[in-house]
Amino acid sequence: MEKYLHRLADDLLEEKLKVSGAVQIRGTMACGKTTTAKQHASSLVLMDDPQEGQRNIAMATSFPVDFLAKNPPLLIDEWQVVPSIWDSVRHEVDRRGKFGQFILTGSATPLEDDEEDVIRHSGTARIASINMRPLTLYESGFSNGKISLSSLFSGQPYVGGESDRTLEDIAVALCRGGWPMGIGLPDELAFEIPYDFVESTVNNRRFRKVGRKSPQEVRRLMRSYARNVSTQASRTLISKDMGSDGGRRFDDETLAKYLGLLEDLFVIEELPAWNPNIRSAVAVQSAYTRHFTDPSIAVAALGLGPDSLMNDFKTFGLLFESMCIRDLRTYAEHLKGSLFHYRDGSGLEADAVITLRDNRWAAIEVKLAGEAGIDEGAGHLIRIRERIDTQKMKEPSFLMIVTAKKYAYRRKDGVFEVPITMLAP
């Protein structure tokens, strides 16, 4: 039996089961939700099981109390197949009055027309939620984890050490992605997983049901989105990009609908803007930064590989930023925090801002390599710190440049420079 690879979500799930009647695990397909949930469940129902699926659907629809009468915690996999399960679970949690009764996993949110008159309650105070994504570099063992964000938030004044990962190694890791099924596979096989993911996505029936677009058109949308990853590209710009090769553009309404579907399938996960208290009157922008849930999806959508990235450092840099954002999101949530980006009207920006519940925060820039870009990024972070109104907000716990370089150290200006391959939560 293959050894289970511990996930950061295990800790969150264990904690939530102690204080909630049910826990929903959200995330894209193939990121390991079911495997992780099984480690904490006593019984299991697969709603999309080829043999028992129809029976399970009939039971969940017609006899929900009997359907839920299994040893807790009961894991219901792909619960969104029967959206009414949500309310059935909520009612059963109320009836039992106990924590840790159910785990719900799903790789999509129910379609709006499915939800109508079916899900009647948000689940507040009954059903908690956690997010799962593909493996971070720390979870997969690619990062040595010698520098933890928790320690930096606690005031650790010094960072140091080195990583043995090369730039070529990072290009390979980016193309492999964080897919658990790829662990232990040779590179050439692991590279196929995100390509298969793209094929599965473009052929998803939801697109045809909502917009009657062909898989080829959805593929063109994903390719255009990939060309604009790690930017705040508008829908107009993405649509224009779709037409750059002579293909048909989506109108704004259709594009918004399809991007919404990609979000519902957890294929994309856009990064919201941070709106801090600042001293100056400069406008803070509110646009989201475009990201796939895993950067390997963008690699596959563009038809790239490690050699392509090593020969195109602009694209490599954007995808590297997206990989760092994937990891930083998971690390931030493990610390009970959230991740944002910052950009204002003067062009001052930070690729990532981690905020914690106690109002501690840290600003981060991501730079693949190159001293000039790193110096510029450090300058941005220092200027952001100077703009913060410290009468209304705390000083940042730290400022950091995340890189693909070898060494970690504290710069003379006080900004930490840390390889992503050394970072841990």
What pTM did the predictor assign? 0.95
Is the separation of the CB atoms in 416 and 399 below 8 Å? yes
Whole-number Å distance between alpha carbons of 366 and 323 = 10
Strand ranges (E), 242-348: 337-343
- Answer yes or no: are the C-beta atoms of 379 and 414 closer than 8 Å: no
Ramachandran area for residue 214 (φ above 0: left; ψ -120 to 50: alpha; else beta)? beta
Tally helices (H) and strands (E) across the chain: 19, 14
Residue 364: strand, helix, or coil = strand
Q: Are 113 and 86 in contact (CB under 8 A)?
A: no
**CA 187 – CA 172 distance, rounded (Å):** 8
| Cβ(96)–Cβ(71) below 8 Å | no
For CA atoms 342, 348, 350, 355, give the dihedral sign: negative
Per-residue pLDDT, 53: 85
- C-alpha span between 140 and 295 (Å, rounded): 15
Report the alpha-carbon angle 205-237-282, nearest 5: 125
Please tell me what DSSP assigns to residue 25: E
pLDDT for residue 280: 75
Residue 378 is predicted with a pLDDT of 97
Q: What is the pLDDT of residue 212?
A: 67
CA–CA separation, 380 and 364 (whole Å): 10
**Residue 284 Rama label (left phi>0; alpha psi -120 to 50; beta):** beta
- List phi, psi (to 5°) of 419: -65, 140
Q: Write 207-212 long-range contacts (CB < 8 A, 24+).
A: 207/258, 207/261, 209/111, 210/111, 210/257, 210/258, 210/261, 211/254, 211/257, 211/258
Enumerate the β-bridge partners of residue 102.
22, 74
Cα 2 to the center of its chain, rounded Å: 26
Q: What's the pLDDT at 111? A: 58
> Biggest alpha carbon distance in the chain?
67
Q: Tell me, what's the pLDDT at 117?
A: 41
Nearest to 425 by CA among 9, 3, 5, 1: 9
Per-block mean pLDDT, blocks of 10 residues, the chain (425 long) = 88 97 97 98 94 92 96 97 95 96 91 49 79 98 98 94 97 98 97 98 87 85 97 96 85 93 97 90 88 98 98 97 98 98 93 97 95 93 94 95 97 97 98
The CA radius of gyration of the chain, in Å to the nearest whole number, is 22
How many residues does the structure list for the chain? 425
- Contacts of residue 69, defined as CB under 8 A and 6 or more positions apart, other chains included, come to none
- What pLDDT was estimated at residue 115? 45
Residue 283's pLDDT is 78
Are the beta carbons of 224 and 277 closer than 8 angstroms? no
pLDDT value of position 354? 98
First-residue to last-residue Cα distance in the chain: 29
